[in-house]
Structure 1
Amino acid sequence: MKLKIRIFIVFLFTITFSYAQNDLECKTKLSLFHQEVNVKNFDKAYDNWKFVKDSCPALSIAIYADGEKILRHKIKTSQGGVKKEYLNELLEVWKKRAVYYPNKTPKGVYIAKTYQLKYDNKKLLQNSNSELYEGFDMAFQTDKKNFTHPKSLYTYFSLVVDLQDEGKKTLKEVFNKYDDVNEKIEEEVANYSTKLNELIAKVDENKELTRNEKSRKTSYESYLKNYDVIKSSISKKLDDRADCVNLIPFYTKDFENHKSDAVWLKRAVSKMHQKECSEDPLYETLVIAYDEVAPSADTKFYIAYLLMKKGKINEAEKYLSEAYDLETDAFKKSKLAYKIGQILKKRKSYSKARVYFRRALKLNPSNGKPHLAIADMYAKSANNCGDTEFNKRAVYWLAAKEAKKASRVDPTLRRDSEKFVTRYEALAPSKQMVFICSCSGTKIDFSCWIADSIIVPAI
C-alpha cells in the first residue's frame, strides 16, 4: 500500500513538474514570438507561436491576436496548396479563440471575418455562394450589433444578389436584405459621426487634440469614408432590379397584405422616393397609408413632397417645418434638415434653404455636403448679387470659401470640394483685375439674399 502511495506521489510530482516545465517554455516562447510580431518578423515568429498555440492554447489572448497577423502574412506571401493550409489554420485559430476567449471574440466580428476570408479565397477553398451567404447571415442575425465591417456588409448584400441571379433567392429577399444592410450602414454612420463631431467641436474651440484623439479622429473618418463607398456600391448593385418598372408591380402586389405594417410602408416609400417613382399613383397611396399607420417626421416630409409636386407650396412648407420639429434624434434631424434644404434649393428658395443647411451643419458638423450646397447657391446667385462686374464675380470667392469647409470637416468630400473650389476660383476676379482696381484687402458686401461679405485677396 505504501509502495503504491509512493508511486502515485512520484507520478504526480512528475506530471506537475512536466506541466510546470511546459508552462515555462510556453511563456518563454510567447515572449519571443510576441517580440518578433512587434517588429513584423512574422516568418521568424511562426514556429514559436505554433508551439504555444498547440501546447498552451489558453495562456494568452496574444496567441490569437498575434497569430492572425502571422497567418495573414503567410497567406499573403504563399500560393496554392501552401496558401490553403495557412487559410485553414487561420480559420481554426478563430474557432479556438472563440473557445478559450469567448468574451473577447464577438460573433458579429469573427463569424463575419471567417466568411469574408472564405469569400476572398472562395476558388481556393471551394465555397459556394449559398454556403458563404448562410455564414454572413448567421453573423448578422446572431450579433447584428458587432457586424459592422464595411467590406463584410457589402459582401453580405452582394451574395444575396448573386444568389438571385442563380435563381436561389427572390427579388423580395434582395429588397429586404438591401433594407437590412442599408439601415445598418445608417446606424453605423450615425455612430461614427457622433463620435467624430465631439472631436471636431474640440478643434473648432482651438483645443489641441491628444495623440489618442488624433488617432481616433483618423479612424472615424476612415470608417465614414468606407461606409460612404459601400452605400453607393450596394445602391448601384441594386439599381437594375430596383427601378420603377420592378418596384411598382412589386409593391402593388404586396400592399394589401402590408398596408398596416409601418416598417414595410417605410421601406416601400423610401425606395419609391429614392428611385424617383413618385409620379405613379401608388407612391401617394403608400405615403398616405404610412402617415396613417405611423405619423412621424418621416411621413410629414413625404406628404410635403407630394404637396410640392401638386404646386401647393405654402402648405408643403408647413409640413416641412412640422417634419423638422417632430424629429428628436439629432443625427436624423440633421439628415432631414439637409433633405429639406435640397427641396428648397431646387425651388430656388435659397435663403430658406440655407437656414436648413446651416441647421444640418450645427446638428452634424462632420457632414460637409451642406457646405457644398450653400457654395453652389452662392455661385448660382453671382449675377444677382453685385452692382459691378467685379463684385458679381467676387461672389465666387465666397462660394470657394464655403466649399473649402466641406473637405475640412468631411474627408469623403475632398475630391468634390477641390473640384468646386477650382471652378469657383477660376470664375472669380483674376489677379490682373485685382491689380487694376487696386482693391486688395477691400471688403465687399453682398446685399442680396446672401447678406455676407468677402475680403478681396492680396495678389
Structure 2
Amino acid sequence: MKLKATFLFVLLLNITFGYAQEDCATKLSLMVESAKAKAYDAAYPQLQSLRKDCAKYHYGIYAYGEKVLKHKVDNSSGEEKKAFIADYAKLYSEAQMYFSSKFPKGEYMGKAAQLNYDNKELLGIQNEDLYNQFDAAYKADAATFDSAKSLYVYFKLMVGLFDEGKKPASDLFNKYDDVVERIDAITESYQVKLNKYVAKEESGAALTSKDKKYKANYEANIAAFEKVSGSVDAELGSRANCENLIPLYTKDFEANKENAVWLKRSVSRMFYKECTEDPLYEKLVKAYDAVESSADTKYFVGTILFNKGKVNEAMNYFKESFDLQTDPLKKAKLANKIASSLKKKGRYGEARQYFEKALKLNPSNKYPHVLIASMYASSANNCGDTNFNKRAVFWLAANEADRAGGKGSSYAKSYRAKAPTKSEIFSAGNAGQTIKIGCWIGRSVTVPSL
C-alpha cells in the first residue's frame, strides 16, 4: 500500500513538473516573440511572470529581459525610472545567480555600474560610490570587464578622486596600468582574429560576405579601443610627469625592489614619460632585470645603453630582447619600439628592418608603413643625385604611406605634392621609367606616366 502511494505521489509530481515546464516554455516563447517584435511594453509583464515562476528555467529570460528593461529605463522618468534602474540591476543579479556561465560578473556588474553612472544625477550617487561599483566589477572578474566605455569611465572616476585628494598618486598610476593592460589585452584578442582575414586577403583569396562582416567588426572594435586608450592617456595627462614619478618611485623602491610587476610598471612609465635621463631609471631597470630577466628587461637595458651613445652594445640587447619574445603580437610591439628608438637616432635602415618585422608579425597594424614613409621623406634630399631624383623619393614615400590604408592617405597626398609635377616629368622625358634610389633606402620607384 505504501509503495503504491509513493508511486502515485511521484507520478503526480512528474505530471505537475511537466506542466510547469510546459507553462514556462510557453511564457518564454511569448516574451521572446514580443521582444523580437520590439513590443517591449507587452513583453514586460511576461518577463516579470517568468522571473517569479520560472527563474531557473532558461537563460533567455535574462538575455531578452535585458532588452525589455532597457526599453523601460529609456522611456521613463523620475521615480518610475529609478525603479526600473533598480530592477535592471536586480535582473543582472538574478541572471548571475541562476546562469553564472552565461552572465559573467565582470561584464554584468560593469553594466550595472555603467547604468548607474549614466543616470547618476537622477540617482544622486556620488563619484566615489560609482568608482567603488566599477572597482568591484573589475576585481570580481577583470577578464570579462571588457566594455570600452566602462573602462574609460572607471579610470576617469579615479582621476577625479585623485584630483579631490581622495586617492594617492600610487593608486592613480596603478589603476592606469590596470586599465591600459586590460585595453591592450582586448585589442590584441581582436588583432589575432583580424589577422586571419588580413592574411587571407594578402594571399589573394577573396573574402566571403561573412568574412567581410567579421573583419569589419574586428576593425571597428580595435578602433574603439584605440580611441579609448588615447582618451585614458589624455585623462592621465601631466599627472604622470617626471616631477611626480621620480619622487614616488624613489620613496617606494626599497619596498618594491623585488616586486616584478611594480618594477615593470615603473620602468615602462618612466620610459614612456621620457624620464630616462634620471639615475633612478637605470636603478629600476637593473632591479627589474635581476628579478625577472625577460624580453622586456633586455629592451630597457638596451635603451639605457642607447641613450649613453653605446649604440652597438644596445643593438645586441635589442636583438636579444626580440629573440626572447615568443608571443607574435608582443613581438610586433617590441619590434615597433626598437624601430622607433632607431628612427630617433637616424639609423633608418635598421629601423626599417624592425618596422617590417612588426608588419609581418601583426599585419592588421599597418601604421609602421607611415613611419617608414616618413623616413623616406626625411631622406629625400640626401638620397638622389639630381634634384628630380631627390624629389622622386616622395613618390616612394607616398606609395609606402598608401599601404597603411586610411591612416596613410593624408600622408601620401602631402608627399605626392612634393614630388615632381607633370610638366617636370614631361621636361625630363622619363615618364614610366624606373629610378633607383641610393643611400640607405636602396629601393626603386617608377615615374608616373603622363
Normalising by structure 1, we get a TM-score of: 0.88
Q: How far apart are residue 321 of structure 1 and its match? A: 1.8
1:443 is matched with which residue?
A: 434
Q: How far apart are residue 439 of structure 1 and its match? A: 4.2
1:263 is matched with which residue?
A: 261
Match 1:194 to one of 176, 192, 195: 192
2:391 is matched with which residue?
A: 393
Q: Name structure 2 gaps, 5 residues minimum.
A: none
Quick one: structure 1 residues 446 and 216, their matched pair in 2 at CA, closer, same or farther if it must change by over 3 Å?
same
Amino acid across the alignment from 2:136: M
Note the aligned Cα RMSD (angstroms).
2.6
Quick one: structure 1 residues 132 and 433, their matched pair in 2 at CA, closer, same or farther if it must change by over 3 Å?
same
2:408 is matched with which residue?
A: 417
Q: How far apart are residue 18 of structure 1 and its match? A: 11
Q: How far apart are residue 328 of structure 1 and its match? A: 2.1
| 1:90-123 Cα distance to aligned partner (Å, 9 max, x none) | 2222122112222211111111111111111111
Q: Name structure 1 gaps, 5 residues minimum.
A: 408-413
| 1:124-149 Cα distance to aligned partner (Å, 9 max, x none) | 22222232222222222221221222
Supply the distance in 2 between the matched residues of 1:166 and 1:184 (Cα, whole angstroms): 25
1:96 aligned onto 2:101: no
Amino acid across the alignment from 2:443: D
The worse-fitting range, judged by mean Cα deviation, of 267-276 and 321-330 is 321-330
1:61 aligned onto 2:59: yes
Amino acid across the alignment from 2:432: G
The worse-fitting range, judged by mean Cα deviation, of 206-215 and 296-305 is 206-215
Quick one: structure 1 residues 439 and 81, their matched pair in 2 at CA, closer, same or farther if it must change by over 3 Å?
farther
The worse-fitting range, judged by mean Cα deviation, of 99-108 and 57-66 is 57-66
Quick one: structure 1 residues 15 and 341, their matched pair in 2 at CA, closer, same or farther if it must change by over 3 Å?
closer
Amino acid across the alignment from 1:428: A
Supply the distance in 2 between the matched residues of 1:313 and 1:169 (Cα, whole angstroms): 41
| 1:175-231 Cα distance to aligned partner (Å, 9 max, x none) | 111122222222222222222112211111122333443332222222221221222
| 1:289-334 Cα distance to aligned partner (Å, 9 max, x none) | 2222222221222222222222222222222222222222222211
2:119 is matched with which residue?
A: 121
SS of residue in 2 equivalent to 1:445? strand
Supply the distance in 2 between the matched residues of 1:37 and 1:291 (Cα, whole angstroms): 57
1:307 aligned onto 2:312: no
2:448 is matched with which residue?
A: 457
SS of residue in 1 equivalent to 2:204? coil
Quick one: structure 1 residues 46 and 443, their matched pair in 2 at CA, closer, same or farther if it must change by over 3 Å?
farther
SS of residue in 2 equivalent to 1:448? coil
Q: How far apart are residue 442 of structure 1 and its match? A: 2.7
Quick one: structure 1 residues 283 and 208, their matched pair in 2 at CA, closer, same or farther if it must change by over 3 Å?
same
Quick one: structure 1 residues 19 and 324, their matched pair in 2 at CA, closer, same or farther if it must change by over 3 Å?
closer
Match 2:242 to one of 241, 244, 267: 244
Q: How far apart are residue 430 of structure 1 and its match? A: 2.6
1:325 aligned onto 2:316: no
SS of residue in 2 equivalent to 1:102? coil
SS of residue in 1 equivalent to 2:239? coil
The worse-fitting range, judged by mean Cα deviation, of 364-373 and 435-444 is 435-444
SS of residue in 1 equivalent to 2:445? strand
1:393 and 1:427 in contact (8 A); partners too = yes
Supply the distance in 1 between the matched residues of 2:33 and 2:302 (Cα, whole angstroms): 63
1:2-401 superposed matches below 5 A: 20=19, 26-401=24-399
Q: How far apart are residue 458 of structure 1 and its match? A: 3.8
Identical pairs, percent: 47
Supply the distance in 1 between the matched residues of 2:282 and 2:213 (Cα, whole angstroms): 47
Quick one: structure 1 residues 169 and 432, their matched pair in 2 at CA, closer, same or farther if it must change by over 3 Å?
same
Q: How far apart are residue 389 of structure 1 and its match? A: 2.9
1:410 is matched with which residue?
A: none
Amino acid across the alignment from 1:258: N
Q: How far apart are residue 351 of structure 1 and its match? A: 0.9
Supply the distance in 2 between the matched residues of 1:40 and 1:456 (Cα, whole angstroms): 59
Quick one: structure 1 residues 383 and 39, their matched pair in 2 at CA, closer, same or farther if it must change by over 3 Å?
farther
Supply the distance in 2 between the matched residues of 1:359 and 1:15 (Cα, whole angstroms): 66
Q: How far apart are residue 44 of structure 1 and its match? A: 4.6
Quick one: structure 1 residues 29 and 301, their matched pair in 2 at CA, closer, same or farther if it must change by over 3 Å?
same
